[in-house]
Structure 1
Amino acid sequence: MASPKQIILPIVVLVGAVAAAVGFSAMKKPPKEKEEIDTRPIVAIEVIEPVSYTHNVNSYGVVTGKYETELVAQVSGEVLYISDAFVRGGFVRKGDVLAKVDPIDYEASLIEAQASVANAQSALIQEKAQGKVAEREWARITNGTPTELSLRKPQLAQELARLKSAQAKLKRAKRNFERTVIRAPYDALIEGRNIGLGSFVNSGTPLGKIISVETAEIRLPVADKELRFLSNQGQNAEVQINTQLAGETRSWQGKIIRSEGVVDKNSRMTYLVAQIIDPYGLNSQQAPLKFGSYVTANIVGDNAGQVSIIPRHLVDEGKVALLGENRLLKLAPVTILRESGSNAIISTGLNAGDKLITSSLEYPLEGMELALPEDNQNKSQDEDLELDTQLAEKQ
């Protein structure tokens, strides 16, 4: 039979264990409520502002002279004179004397030709007078019809032919005499000279090369897809020419004067020709645009009206992401008028005030909720305010 001690001891242990469990349970803090996490993607936006846009077509080329002339001797002889300006890099005006060939033989030929003309004129006058005498004598002797030989008409025609021949020789002699002086045919830059003082030249001997400085031309390649942005294939379009001069970017204004009318078989480009007036600034104060310079060109095209210009990487399958009402994603279809560099020119699909999303979205879905950076900032400010309030209540 169990003793009272054996009966009471288990009861005491059981009651103590229950009491300890209740005590520990009372000491345990209630679980904190999980903080609500905002999973909305945060995006950056840019407000659309349409602008008036004029198409520009970019190109490049090398500056050349409109005319390049290889001067050659047209008479033979010794070079007696060379102008100081007739050197590589020299500038000459139209009509300036560049060189002279010994004119003595040609001057003598000119004098002989002049004498021949005078003799022919004298012979012709005498023959006309003899013809009149023959006509009067024939009328006095007989009433018959005289022959042309009787009236000395063949002799008159012969003298007239001799006069014309002498006049032709005189013109040739004058021309050859004038050709002993080599003159610039236009305002020019001397590219090279092939003769020296005392040189003997024959007809056809190269004397030098000159380039016209009145106008410069630049061949500008343009892709076929770009031509549609130029009125009348670019004819008469304004063009801005840019290049580096003495370490600075300089610009000149020109005009497209013609299209070469064919597609280059190698580059598949159409070439437009731009013209620059007075490239070396001889008649103005503009900086010289040197021949041989590599330049870039900006051709002014058509006006496209009001368009929106956005980074082209934001267009995905013809749509752009917009921030719609209530912070919901909106995918708007757009029409790309043209891509220019890193930008896309949008003609339709965007309106003034639209909020374009400029940050990337991993999985964009129409209607998904979005957040702006200021939303998180406002939330942080609210939490800080709530914490300050709790601390104030405890104090």
Structure 2
Amino acid sequence: MATKKQIIIPIVILATGIAAMAIFSSMKKPPEEKEKVDNTPIVAVENISVAPMTLEVNSYGMVKPKYETELIAQVNGEIVELNDVFVRGGFVKKDQLLARIDPSDYHAALIDAQASMATARAALEKEVAQGKVAEREWRQIENSSPTELSLRKPQLAQELARVKAAQASILRAERNLERTEIRAPYDAMIDSRNVGLGSFVGIGSKIGHVLATAIAEIRLPVADNQLAFLVKTKSAKAGVNAQVNLIGTYAGKDTQWQAKIARSEGVIDNKSRMSYLVAEINDPYLLNSSNKSSNAPLRFGSYVNAKIMGYTISQASLVPRYLVVNGKVAILDSESKLNYVTIDIVRQQGSHVVVANGLADGDQLIVSALDYPVDGMKLALISNESQQEEKDVEAEKSETQMASNKESGE
């Protein structure tokens, strides 16, 4: 039979174990709840700016005079006079004397022609008088009709021919005398001079070379597919009258000049396969005081870059080319959702494309990559996420500070 002690001890041990279990259970912390993870994709955006845009076509070319002339001697003789400005780089006015060929022989030829003219006129007057006498004598003869020879008409015609020949000789002599003076055909700059004082020149000898300073022109190659940006309608005169900004250097500084497309050559070059537009600029050397378009001369032979102004798009925007996929771009709409919109691409401009339709001013263009984009999916802005993270950090700092203050107070 069990004793009282044997019964009490197991009961005490069991009660002690239950009490200890209850104490330990009360000390156990409940499991922490895990915060919900936001898996919304985060994107970066750029605001779209829509504004009028004038299309440009880039080109390049060499500045040349519109007119240039090789001065050629038309008579023989010795160079007896040279103008001081008849040197390379000299500027001359129209009809200004550049050089003179010895005119002595041509003066003599003119006097000889004038003398022949006087002799021919005298013979003509004598023949006219003789013809009148013959006609008067024939009127006194009855029952007979005079012949042309009897009235001296062939002789009169012969003398008239001699007078005309004498007139031609005078004109020829005067023209040869004028040709002894080499004059500038227009306002020009001297490009070269091939004679010196005392040189003998013959017909066809080169005297010099002059460049017209009134107008300069630049041949600008343009790819055939770029002509469409100069006019909206199909035309063979694409780009004519378009404004051109010429960019070059003068005295080591970048300088701009304003020009205008004067004409199109109308053919495609066999070698370059390019179309050529010709730009013109008036008074490139600023010799005319009324020219205020530039503060620096545009010298012949200069290499310039050109921006040809095309037509203007009333509502246009620039979009990075890599963001366009199948003619669409990704937009973050007002509900923070992904939205693909179709755009009307006018042209490619470097690393961007010019968009005419499809985008509005202030649209948010998504510029970051998405792993699995789905039209209409919910998105979050990277700026909003950053602001939330900063708020969380500030909250943690505040809680830590409060706990520290509590412990110090205790």
Residues 214-258 of structure 1, C-alpha deviation per residue, up to 9 Å, x if partnerless?
111111111121111223411222222221212222222222111
Structure 1 residues 201-210 or 33-42, which shifts more? Answer: 33-42
Q: CA deviation at 1:352?
A: 2.7
Gapped regions of structure 2 (runs ≥ 5): 1-8, 232-236
Q: Percent identity?
A: 54
- Alignment of 1:242 with 2:247, yes or no, is yes
Kept after mapping to 1: 8 A contact 2:315/2:357: no
Residue 342 of structure 1: aligned partner: 351
CA distance in 2 between partners of 1:110 and 1:224 (Å): 60
How many angstroms does 1:68 deviate by?
A: 1.4
Supply the distance in 2 between the matched residues of 1:153 and 1:272 (Cα, whole angstroms): 65
Per-residue deviation, residues 297-340 of structure 1 (Å, max 9, x unmatched): 22222222212222222212211111123322111121111112
SS in 2 for 1:262: strand
Q: Which amino acid aligns with 1:190?
A: I
Pair 1:383–1:112, CA change in 2 (3 A): same
Deviation at 1:384, TM superposition (A): 3.8
Give me the CA root mean square deviation: 2.9
State the Cα deviation string for residues 5-35 of structure 1 (Å, max 9, x = none). xxxx999999999999988877666554444
- Counterpart in 1 of 2:376? 367
Q: Which residue matches 1:268?
A: 273
* 2:287 matches 1:278: no
Equivalent position amino acid for 2:389 in 1: S
Q: Following TM superposition, by how much is the alpha carbon of 1:54 offset from its aligned partner in structure 2, in angstroms?
A: 2.2
Please, which of 251, 257, 262 is the counterpart of residue 262 of structure 2?
257
Shift of 1:155: 0.7
Question: Which letter maps to 2:60?
Answer: Y
Letter in 2 for 1:70: E
Equivalent residue letter for 1:352: D
The reply to whether residue 386 of structure 1 matches residue 395 of structure 2 is: yes
Stretch of structure 1 that moved more, 91-100 or 224-233: 224-233
**Counterparts of residues 48-59 of structure 1 (less than 5 Å):** 48-59=48-59
What SS does structure 2 have at the residue aligned with 1:386?
Answer: helix
Q: 1:353 aligns with which of 362, 383, 397?
A: 362
User: Aligned-pair distance for 1:370?
Assistant: 2.1
Task: Specify the code of the residue in structure 2 equivalent to 1:392.
Answer: M
**TM-score (ref. length: structure 1):** 0.90
Quick one: distance in 2 between partners of 1:332 and 1:373?
Answer: 22
Identify which range, 310-319 or 364-373, moves more after superposition.
364-373
Greater displacement, 220-229 / 140-149? 140-149
Deviation at 1:208, TM superposition (A): 1.1
Instruction: Please state if 1:316 is matched with 2:325.
Output: yes
Stretch of structure 1 that moved more, 92-101 or 38-47? 38-47
Whole-angstrom CA distance in 2 between matches of 1:46 and 1:202: 76
Counterparts of residues 13-52 of structure 1 (less than 5 Å): 32-52=32-52
**C-alpha spacing 1:384/1:156, structure 2 compared with 1 (3 Å):** same
Equivalent of 2:385 in 354, 376, 381: 376
TM-aligned CA deviation for residue 103 of structure 1: 0.7
SS of structure 2 residue aligned to 1:313: helix
Q: Structure 2 vs 1, CA of residues 14 and 113 (structure 1 numbering), >3 Å: closer, same or farther?
A: farther
Match of 1:64 in 2: 64
Count of aligned pairs between the two proteins: 391
Instruction: Provide, for residues 187-237 of structure 1, a one-character-per-residue CA deviation record: whole Å limited to 9, x for no partner.
Output: 111111111111110000011111111111111111121111223411222
